[in-house]
Structure 1
Amino acid sequence: MRSFYCACEKVFRPDIRDRGVVVTSNNDGVVVALDNRAKAAGIKKFEPYFKQRPLIERAGVLAFSSNYELYGEVSGRIMATLAELAPSNIEVYSIDECFVDFSAVPRGELKAFAALLRDTIWQQQGIKMGVSIAPSKTLAKLGQCAVKEYSQLEGVCVLTQAHQWQWLAARVDVSDVWGIGRKLTAKLKTRGLATAADLSAMPQAEARTLQGITLVRTIAELQGEACIDIDCQPQSKQSIISSRSFGQKQTRLEPLQEAVSHYAVRAGAKLRAQSSLCFRLVVWIQTSAHDATPYADELAVSLPGGTADSRQLSRVAVALVAQLYRPGYKYAKAGVVLHDLRPERLAQLDLLAPRAENSVSLMKVMDGVNRRFGTGAVKLARQGGEHGFAMKRAMKSPSYLSRWREIPRLRLG
């Protein structure tokens, strides 16, 4: 989905659909998303917002702080709709991308079916989606380059014949091939491989020497051979990180404890979502690297028997940050990391470790309430408020889909 964050901002604001839009990162640091109108105005992605602000204002482009809650809700609804329409299960690859197995769709109906998916998402969610169909994942990703470049395709690119993807590959820079990063791009271009077509013709032995089996598979995929299966059951995470830069630097211990408690609770919700237990927890804090005397440190502790209880994770995190805290510093960031994650059904419990009664039931209720009424509807007292450590998001739009008080209102008469 093209410029997904920007598109989400426009769904509930029909008055700005003809305006350029940019979205900033945490604490309004850099521009992380921009639409075509913003690009045409000369605004650059991943450049500091404060440096580009005069240009943004002169061009009449609107700036929004990242509203991850909104983007996640819109994404979830789109993926749910696609899952209902798709002939088989889908693989959610990222917040704005997924793979679908179209093998059950007759070749002559592929374009019509892709158009149906695109039109349905536009009608139901107000998001313009690009659909590309090809024999392999890498070629399907390559097809998205055509969708964005050639408006005559009307958002649908079907690559079923070798001459079709070969024509496209000759016009796509090698850096735009799925899985080819900046360092590998530089190595390939020193060998004279500038396009996806050049990479597709690279000898297998040379590819294996340069980047191993991963590059060999990418080349095979560019040649129309499916080497990467659609994964409808993504693997559980091996670790979970929850951290943020503070909206303003903190000097006292109490806000740091509230912050790591908040992060631990958020990590705990993700842990339970994948039905895992955590057996090791890490907390870290740091000042800005540009401070005269920077400070950063971390502590870890084992959790015998494992846990997915936010209360225990919070208690441990709060105790560790108290040990890490040093007066006289201005702390800019903190984080909680959950390590040694094991499936709840396979974990071996420690008979000597105390376990809270009704923990599973309580956490299930807590998660259910927060899903229904919005994140933070039920929280631990230890979390306090977020005013001291919350991200700076001065231009954040309302959470139209997850907070009752921010639902759009219609005025008649």
Structure 2
Amino acid sequence: MLTVVGGRVQAELRGQSCLPLPDIAAIRKSIASTRTFGRLLLKWEEIREAIAHYATRAAEKLREEGLEAAHLSVPMQTNPHDGDPWYAKHAAVTIVPTSDAKDLIRHATELGRTIWIPRYRYFKAGVILSDLRPAGSQGRMFASRNPSQSAAVMAALDAVNARFGSGTLRPGSTGLKRTWSPRQSLLSARYTTRLEEIVRATSW
């Protein structure tokens, strides 16, 4: 009497999933946080800050989707169009699955240091996370950090930033002045999220 819909409801109540395949969200394969620097960077300390920031943003994306990453890579390159020597390289490592920003920052900056070469002016870098899996899906026999404590710290960090704005609370390794941040002089107005940037109509 209830047709196909009723049949699906009955099957669901008996524990048989009847969701169409397109309605089942697939787990992302990777998460990347990469940016072009606001200026060419020569010093490792500045590049390290940028990489730490990218790792922090990638970690936030992981936690938003309830995921952890077991593989991390860091690409770095010079600008091929400014006359400097061309250099592009990336390093990668398999890690204990995590979404903890502190762990990802440590791994990312260690990798970045191995491929950074002095005297080159760097144009871009980033952090790419892959081998993603649901958080807590794998045991940690040799974990270097208490998983429950780590989750509590990251939850507190996310709660503060959700209430007071992104970046309100962040790891100190991401820097204070951030002179390497991308230039935003041509940034499009954020009409839907910033009232002060909404289009204003004037009469002639």
Q: CA deviation at 1:368?
A: 1.9
Give 2:17's aligned residue. none
Q: TM-score, normalised by structure 1?
A: 0.40
Matched, 1:362 2:150: no
Kindly provide the amino acid, as one letter, of the partner of residue 311 in structure 1: K
Kindly provide the amino acid, as one letter, of the partner of residue 279 in structure 1: A
C-alpha contact 2:52 2:174 (8 A) present in aligned 1: yes
Q: CA deviation at 1:401?
A: 6.8
- The whole-number CA distance in structure 2 between the counterparts of 1:271 and 1:328 is 34
Q: State the Cα deviation string for residues 236-289 of structure 1 (Å, max 9, x = none).
A: 211111100111110000111011100001000111111111111101110012
Q: CA deviation at 1:379?
A: 0.4
Give 2:6's aligned residue. none
Decide whether aligned partners of structure 1 residues 231 and 364 sit closer, same or farther in structure 2, where only a CA change above 3 A counts. farther
- The whole-number CA distance in structure 2 between the counterparts of 1:396 and 1:329 is 28
Give 1:296's aligned residue. 88
Give 1:278's aligned residue. 69
Matched, 1:255 2:43: no
- The whole-number CA distance in structure 1 between the counterparts of 2:85 and 2:21 is 49
| Count of residue pairs brought into register by the alignment | 176
Q: Select the residue among 123, 129, 132 that pairs with 1:338.
A: 129
Matched, 1:408 2:161: no
- The whole-number CA distance in structure 1 between the counterparts of 2:135 and 2:27 is 12
Q: CA deviation at 1:230?
A: 8.8
C-alpha contact 1:309 1:360 (8 A) present in aligned 2: yes
- The whole-number CA distance in structure 2 between the counterparts of 1:397 and 1:293 is 33
Q: CA deviation at 1:346?
A: 2.4
Give 1:351's aligned residue. 141
Q: CA deviation at 1:383?
A: 0.3
Give 1:179's aligned residue. none
Q: CA deviation at 1:292?
A: 3.9
1:329 counterpart SS class: coil
Q: CA deviation at 1:353?
A: 2.4
Kindly provide the amino acid, as one letter, of the partner of residue 89 in structure 2: D
1:314 counterpart SS class: helix
C-alpha contact 2:84 2:121 (8 A) present in aligned 1: no
- The whole-number CA distance in structure 1 between the counterparts of 2:135 and 2:175 is 29
Give 1:318's aligned residue. 109
Decide whether aligned partners of structure 1 residues 232 and 386 sit closer, same or farther in structure 2, where only a CA change above 3 A counts. farther
Decide whether aligned partners of structure 1 residues 231 and 389 sit closer, same or farther in structure 2, where only a CA change above 3 A counts. farther
1:388 counterpart SS class: coil
Kindly provide the amino acid, as one letter, of the partner of residue 196 in structure 2: P
Output aligned runs, 1:46-85, within 5 Å.
none
2:196 counterpart SS class: coil
Decide whether aligned partners of structure 1 residues 280 and 386 sit closer, same or farther in structure 2, where only a CA change above 3 A counts. farther
Output aligned runs, 1:375-394, within 5 Å.
375-385=166-176, 387-394=178-185
Decide whether aligned partners of structure 1 residues 251 and 368 sit closer, same or farther in structure 2, where only a CA change above 3 A counts. same
Give 2:164's aligned residue. 373
C-alpha contact 1:259 1:386 (8 A) present in aligned 2: no
Output aligned runs, 1:8-407, within 5 Å.
231-290=22-81, 291-304=83-96, 306-347=97-138, 349-356=139-146, 358-385=149-176, 387-396=178-187
1:408 counterpart SS class: helix
Q: CA deviation at 1:307?
A: 0.8
- The whole-number CA distance in structure 2 between the counterparts of 1:399 and 1:378 is 22
- The whole-number CA distance in structure 1 between the counterparts of 2:65 and 2:187 is 30
Which of structure 1's runs of 4+ aligned residues deviate more than 6 A? none
More helix by share: 1
Supply the RMSD in Å over aligned alpha carbons.
2.3
Q: Which has the greater radius of gyration?
A: 1
Kindly provide the amino acid, as one letter, of the partner of residue 56 in structure 2: V
Q: Percent identity?
A: 33
Kindly provide the amino acid, as one letter, of the partner of residue 282 in structure 1: S
- The whole-number CA distance in structure 2 between the counterparts of 1:397 and 1:302 is 38
Decide whether aligned partners of structure 1 residues 236 and 331 sit closer, same or farther in structure 2, where only a CA change above 3 A counts. same
